[in-house]
């Protein structure tokens, strides 16, 4: 898979209860500074959010959408620092997919490796707002998928690409037989790692 870039997440989604292990794309709200109320109070928030939209978000990729990730580490560190200054609790995910764009610089990726904690494989929309995997396993139970539940790791994700592919094949077969699962979205296979030691990371590479 190709390291594409980062997603910064803030507040945990309401559906994620304290005893829910899931820590993938759908765990929290992405890009916490993208908030009109904050725009009114903070010019840096507005500047960062407008730059993200102009440079990286809402572009097309083939018949779908560009990944809602940012590969620019300097920008990410500026975003991280401002979140911390505002007292916003965040986590940063490194996203790898089969898509060629955007692409994180390989040298930068190598510098990051000591700061990464692998979470696992998820299946969600290119915009990062919805995880089919989370919906399928932590929403209404889907009988055909239940045998795969025991393969989920401690973060509610799959440990290997092969297990993720098996889940997707089983999911598509269930849909073909009439199971009411989410379809028609720009789904992407994600390999997710959480970036640890954010302040140290930004001192080293930001």
**Domain spans of the chain?**
2-205
Q: What is the pLDDT of residue 198?
A: 81
**Angle, nearest 10°, between helix axes 73-85 and 198-205?**
140
- SS3 at position 188: strand
Q: What is the pLDDT of residue 187?
A: 93
**Angle, nearest 10°, between helix axes 73-85 and 43-55?**
150
Q: What is the pLDDT of residue 206?
A: 53
Q: What is the pLDDT of residue 131?
A: 95
**Residue 174 and residue 31: Cα distance in Å, rounded?**
33
If pLDDT is split at 50, 70 and 90, which confidence band does 119 have? very high
If pLDDT is split at 50, 70 and 90, which confidence band does 205 have? low
Once rounded to an integer, what is the mean pLDDT over residues 30-49? 89
Q: What pTM was estimated for this model as a whole?
A: 0.91
If pLDDT is split at 50, 70 and 90, which confidence band does 89 have? very high
Once rounded to an integer, what is the mean pLDDT over residues 88-106? 93
Q: What is the pLDDT of residue 113?
A: 80
Whether the predicted pLDDT of 185 surpasses 80: yes
Whether the predicted pLDDT of 123 surpasses 90: yes
Q: Could you give the dihedral angle defined by the CA atoms of residues 124, 118, 85 and 88, in that order, rounded to the nearest 10 degrees?
A: 50
Q: What is the pLDDT of residue 201?
A: 72
Once rounded to an integer, what is the mean pLDDT over residues 38-58? 88
Q: Residue 72 in contact with residue 196, Cβ under 8 Å? A: no
Which position has the higher pLDDT, 163 or 106? 163
**Residue 31 and residue 189: Cα distance in Å, rounded?**
20
Q: What is the pLDDT of residue 99?
A: 93
Q: What is the pLDDT of residue 133?
A: 96
Q: What percent of the chain has pLDDT over 90?
A: 61
Q: What is the pLDDT of residue 204?
A: 67
């Amino acid at each position: 898979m190709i390291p594409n870039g980062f997603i910064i997440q803030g507040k945990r989604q309401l559906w994620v209860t304290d005893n829910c292990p899931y820590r993938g794309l759908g765990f929290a709200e992405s890009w916490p500074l993208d908030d009109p109320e904050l725009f009114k109070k903070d010019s840096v928030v507005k500047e960062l959010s407008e730059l993200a939209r102009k440079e990286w978000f809402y572009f097309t990729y083939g018949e779908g959408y560009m990944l809602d990730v940012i590969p620019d580490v300097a920008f990410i560190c500026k975003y991280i620092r401002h979140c911390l200054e505002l007292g916003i609790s965040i986590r940063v995910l490194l996203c790898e997919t089969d898509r060629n764009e955007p692409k994180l610089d390989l040298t930068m990726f190598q510098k990051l490796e000591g700061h990464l904690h692998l979470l696992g494989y998820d299946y969600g929309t290119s915009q990062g707002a919805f995880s089919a995997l989370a919906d399928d396993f932590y929403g209404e139970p889907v009988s055909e998928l239940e045998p795969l539940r025991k393969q989920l790791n401690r973060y509610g994700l799959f440990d290997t690409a092969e297990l993720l592919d098996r889940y997707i094949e089983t999911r598509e077969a269930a849909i073909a037989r009439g199971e009411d699962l989410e379809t028609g979205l720009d789904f992407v296979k994600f390999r997710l790692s959480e970036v640890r030691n954010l302040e140290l990371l930004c001192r080293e590479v930001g």
